[in-house]
């Protein structure tokens, strides 16, 4: 069996889970190719799925779904009836309906989804004052990733494997989810910027930006293209890129969900079969 492991990871959580899944499958002598679709140029490549028996897709949760650019990329694929599995990393706020909505897309593209999983990861907006799921993924999350790899592989090789069960639809319809996706742009007052500071002009921010939104020379992001993934902020070696402080919004979310950061941290990674 030959597998493709395709994932998007702006700040590394999803990549860490993908690595663990790959390690576990390699131990079983499964042949596995990796496609990291984070960079803009890699997403322009045509992916030929013909050599693969099955595919594993991994994405961060952005506003309760896979990121829009990932959803659009999935819509370019033809599954030709192949089995696939999905997994998501999220910052502990909300994960549903990521599994459900991505399954809908994959089934339309003629894939059969056999399993899914969710893993906790430090929230990207911790780079802007949040304190959600710090130090995750942790060893307990990686244990679940290994179990997910084993159980998914069993479903890939077993012709009569049970269909993936019902997934949570969440409370919002697609239109409301689109609105939510756009609403973050109202709270970001300052997209990643160097704010006039000097830097070593290494151009990492520009080269690694998944949407070509960052201009290293100007030290600022183009608002129309920036998806606020904060890859540039996380990876700037001089630590000079910033966005506005979002800590008040984190406190509001904790109040809305009647929770605390300590209670959030008790959440555990999960597998759906």
Ligand X SMILES: Cc1cc2nc3c(=O)[nH]c(=O)nc-3n(C[C@H](O)[C@H](O)[C@H](O)COP(=O)(O)O)c2cc1C
Q: Which residues bind ligand X (CB under 6 A)?
A: 9-15, 60-64, 89-94, 121-124, 184, 228-230
Residues that bind ligand SF4 (CB under 6 A): 192, 194, 199-205, 209-211, 213-214, 216, 219, 221, 226-232, 236-238, 240-241
Which is nearest to 7 in space by CA: 112, 119, 136, 110? 119
Q: What's the CA gap between 35 and 57, in Å, rounded?
A: 10
CB of 196 to ligand SF4, least distance (A): 12
- Rounded to 10 deg, the angle between the 139-157 and 13-27 helix axes is 50
Q: 204: which 2 tokens?
A: 């990492």
User: Residue 9's binding partner, choosing from ligand SF4, ligand X, none, with beta-carbon cut-off 5 to 8 A by kind?
Assistant: ligand X
CB of 237 to ligand X, least distance (A): 18
User: Residue 27's binding partner, choosing from ligand SF4, ligand X, none, with beta-carbon cut-off 5 to 8 A by kind?
Assistant: none
Write the DSSP symbol of residue 65: B
- Backbone dihedral region for residue 110 (phi beyond 0: left; psi -120 to 50: alpha; all else: beta): left
Q: 226: which 2 tokens?
A: 């920036």
CB of 194 to ligand SF4, least distance (A): 5
Q: What's the CA gap between 102 and 88, in Å, rounded?
A: 10
User: Residue 91's binding partner, choosing from ligand X, ligand SF4, none, with beta-carbon cut-off 5 to 8 A by kind?
Assistant: ligand X
CB nearer to ligand X: pick between 114 and 227? 227
């Amino acid at each position: 069996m030959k597998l493709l492991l395709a994932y998007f990871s702006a700040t590394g959580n999803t990549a860490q889970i993908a690595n663990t899944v790959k390690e576990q499958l390699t131990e079983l002598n499964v042949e596995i190719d990796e496609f990291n679709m984070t960079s803009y140029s890699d997403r322009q490549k045509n992916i030929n799925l013909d050599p693969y028996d099955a595919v594993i897709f991994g994405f961060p949760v952005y506003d309760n779904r896979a990121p829009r650019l990932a959803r659009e990329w999935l819509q370019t694929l033809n599954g030709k009836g192949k089995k696939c599995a999905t997994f998501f990393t999220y910052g502990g706020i909300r994960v549903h309906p990521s599994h459900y909505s991505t399954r809908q897309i994959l089934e339309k593209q003629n894939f059969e989804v056999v399993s899914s999983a969710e893993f906790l990861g430090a929230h990207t907006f911790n780079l802007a004052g949040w304190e959600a799921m710090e130090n995750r993924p942790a060893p307990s999350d990686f244990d679940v990733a290994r179990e997910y790899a084993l159980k998914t592989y069993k479903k890939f090789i077993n012709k009569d494997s049970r269909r993936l069960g019902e997934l949570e639809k969440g409370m919002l319809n697609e239109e409301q989810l689109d609105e939510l996706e756009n609403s973050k742009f109202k709270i970001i007052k300052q997209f990643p910027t160097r704010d006039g500071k000097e830097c070593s002009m290494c151009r990492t921010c520009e080269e690694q930006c998944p949407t070509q939104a960052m201009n290293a020379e100007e030290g600022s992001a183009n608002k129309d293209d920036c998806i606020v993934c904060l890859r540039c902020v996380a990876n700037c070696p001089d630590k000079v890129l910033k966005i506005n402080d979002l800590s008040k919004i984190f406190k509001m979310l904790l109040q809305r969900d009647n929770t605390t950061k300590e209670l959030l941290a008790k959440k555990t990674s999960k597998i759906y079969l």
